[in-house]
Amino acid sequence: MRVTLFGASGLLGQDLVQELKADQLTALSSKDADLRDHSRIREVIRDSRPDWILLSAAYTDVDGCEANRDLAFAVNFEGAVNVADAAREAGSRLMFLSTDYVFDGSKRSPYQTSDPRKPVSVYGESKARAEERLLEILPDVCIARTSWLFGHGGKCFPATILSLASTRPEISAVDDQRGSPTFTRDLASALAQLCRASARGIVHVTNSGNCTRYELAREIVRVSELATAVKPVTTAEFPRPAQRPAYSVLSADSLHAYKIQMPEWQDALRRYLGSAPAEPPAVTR
C-alpha cells in the first residue's frame, strides 16, 4: 500500500509513521508541505502516487483557533480542500482526521455518525465545514472522527497532569466535560486497518469507554502512584477562550461495522504511562 501522510511530526503522525513503516510511505511534516500551498500539495501527491492519503495535519490549538479564525480556516478547511482536490486529480483515496468537536455536546448518549454537526468553537466549525466540503469533492472519502488524543512526542492532557502533579500537592480538573480519551498508538492501528478495509464515509474511532476530565486526571495520578490530590471543578470555574462540548462521546457502531475493536481507555492509559516514545524509522520523502 502506497501512503502519503500529511502531519507526520504531530502527536498522531509520529505513531502513524511507526504503524505504516512496512508500507510504501511518504511522510510529510508542515515544513515539507504547507497545506495552504495548493501547488505544493498537488506536486507531492502527483510524485508519490499514493493509494491512500492520510490527512492528520491540522491547526489543533482549540483556544488558538478561537483567536485566529482566519488561520484556522486556512489550514483546517482550505488546506483540507487543497488535499482533496489533489487526491481527486490523482485518483487517490483520502482519509481525513476529524474531531468530536463538530458536535455541541447537548446529547447525553453517544453521538452517531448521522447526528447533525453543531460546532460551538472555531476549531469545531473549521473541521465541520471541511467534512461537508470533502464529502462533496470525494464521495468515497473516509472521515475518521476521534477525541481527546494523548500520546508521546507532543502536548496532551496526561502529560500536563503529570507535570502539574509532580510539583503540586493538589490539582484541579473539570468534572462536567465527558468524552473518550484516545491513545494515538491505538488510533494509528485502527486507521491503518480502515485503509486496508477500503473504508468510506464517516467512522468514529476512539478508545472504548468514557470519562470526565476529572476522572481521567484522577486515574493518571492513581496509576502513576502520585500523592497529589485531584479536585473536581466545573467548566464555569475554569473558563477557556473556546467553548468545549459538555458531552462528546462518539458511538463505536461505525467502527465495529469494519470488525475493528478499540481497547478500553484505562488500558490505553496504563500502556501510555508505562511506555516511552519509539525511535522514528527512516522514511522516504
- The residues annotated with a catalytic role in the active site are 123
In angstroms, rounded to a whole number, what is the distance separating the alpha carbons of residues 235 and 12? 27
Given a contact cutoff of 8 angstroms between Cβ atoms, the answer to whether 250 and 198 are in contact is no
- 213-223 vs 265-273: helix axis angle to the nearest 10? 40
DSSP state of 235: G
Burial 2-15 (b: 16+ CB within 10 A, else e): ebbbbbbbbbbbbb
Residue for grid cell 504547507:
34
In angstroms, rounded to a whole number, what is the distance separating the alpha carbons of residues 113 and 253? 9
What count of residues does the chain have?
285
